[in-house]
């Protein structure tokens, strides 16, 4: 995958040379915590009881091990950087191998693409997650965040084609093939943040207010996990998943996932009944 450093202004080219590595060790307990965090219940023993013969991680667990690495890449070089103005815009997860229910992993993170949107910066990181002992690639994540107020630095405005990671995935103009509805819990963000995303935006009302929200919002990766769970329950296992966040969800709200099967791909749209947020 081309990094296109030569096309970037010096400050961006320099930022792309930074590589952050981190280790992530986990047990069956962490798998259960993640599964519960995206709505698995006590009756779904394959996701909540380590002694079940079918015990496994829900596929979107792949966004968890990489988080410490991707969040450690410094953004302080951006103009007017304010973490309270950071919003998660897109996430792409590719599952490269069966997910172990415990293990030792190592992550390698770097900036992939940094775009100047005038009134914001769009920053995409890529993280490869491998088994620490065998070196086997388990996950690849590409994450795009938007930092409001940090644009205008003279960088590129248009990104490169990154294949499935940048595909638009427009739903077809017909009724969905399946619809799944789930009510989130008022404490869902408080539970989900125990997976490692401890951004105060999801727990502190005063921090959420700085970002312009009426109260703490649900993690975008939590709503992604819920949608991924719906796809899995409806159409079975998948090898990759890409989402674009265009709205916010407050803990306790209901989420509806509409799904369309298009050849070998499932296109989905997840929204609050009162406000769609693909």
- C-alpha span between 254 and 271 (Å, rounded): 8
**Quick check: is 12 catalytic?**
no
| Catalytic entry in 151, 211, 220, 228 | 220
- pLDDT attached to residue 73: 94
Q: How much is the mean pLDDT over the chain?
A: 93
| pLDDT computed for residue 272 by the predictor | 85
Q: What is the pTM of this model?
A: 0.92
Residues 191-200: pLDDT tens digits?
Answer: 999 999 998 9
Does residue 149 contact residue 82 with C-beta atoms inside 8 Å? yes
Q: Which of 62, 114, 155, 202 is catalytic?
A: 202
Choose, from 38, 114, 217, 241, the residue flagged as catalytic. 217
CB atoms within 10 A of CB 65: 27
What pLDDT is attached to residue 274? 61
How far does CA 1 lie from the centroid of its chain?
A: 20
Quote the distance between the C-alpha of residue 212 and its chain's center.
21
Tokens 């792409």 locate to 92
- A 10 A CB-CB count for 28 gives 14
Tens-place pLDDT, residues 157-204: 999 999 999 998 999 999 999 999 999 999 999 999 999 999 899 999
d(Cα 125, Cα 69) in Å, to the nearest integer? 10
The per-residue pLDDT for 4 is: 45
Known catalytic residue at 202: yes
Position 278 pLDDT exceeds 90: no
197: annotated active-site residue:
yes
Q: Note if 220 is an active site residue.
A: yes
Q: pLDDT at residue 5 above 50?
A: no
7 pLDDT band, cuts 50/70/90, is confident
Catalytic residue among 39, 197, 228, 241: 197
């Amino acid at each position: 995958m081309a990094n296109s450093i030569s096309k970037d202004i010096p400050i961006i080219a320099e930022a792309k040379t930074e590589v952050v590595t981190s280790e992530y060790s986990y047990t069956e307990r962490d798998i259960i915590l993640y599964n519960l965090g995206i709505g698995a219940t006590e009756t779904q023993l394959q996701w909540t009881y380590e002694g079940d013969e079918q015990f496994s991680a829900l596929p979107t667990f792949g966004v968890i091990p990489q988080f410490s690495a991707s969040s450690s890449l410094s953004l302080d070089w951006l103009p007017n950087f304010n973490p309270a103005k950071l919003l998660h815009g897109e996430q792409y997860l590719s599952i490269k191998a069966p997910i172990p229910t415990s293990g030792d992993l190592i992550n390698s993170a770097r900036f992939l693409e940094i775009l100047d949107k005038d009134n914001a910066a769009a920053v995409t990181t890529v993280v490869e997650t491998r088994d620490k002992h065998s070196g086997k690639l388990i996950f690849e994540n590409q994450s795009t965040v938007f930092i409001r107020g940090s644009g205008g630095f003279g960088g590129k405005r248009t990104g490169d084609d990154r294949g499935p990671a940048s595909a638009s995935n427009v739903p077809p103009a017909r009724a969905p093939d399946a619809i799944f509805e789930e009510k989130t819990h008022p404490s869902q963000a408080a539970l989900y943040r125990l997976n490692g995303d401890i951004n105060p935006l999801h727990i502190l009302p005063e921090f959420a207010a700085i970002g312009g929200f009426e109260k703490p919002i649900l993690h975008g990766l939590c709503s992604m996990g819920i949608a991924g769970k719906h796809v899995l329950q409806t159409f079975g296992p998948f090898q990759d998943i890409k989402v674009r966040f265009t709205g916010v969800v407050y803990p306790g709200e209901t989420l509806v996932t509409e799904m369309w099967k298009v050849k070998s791909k499932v296109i989905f749209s997840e929204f609050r009944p009162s406000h769609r947020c693909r």
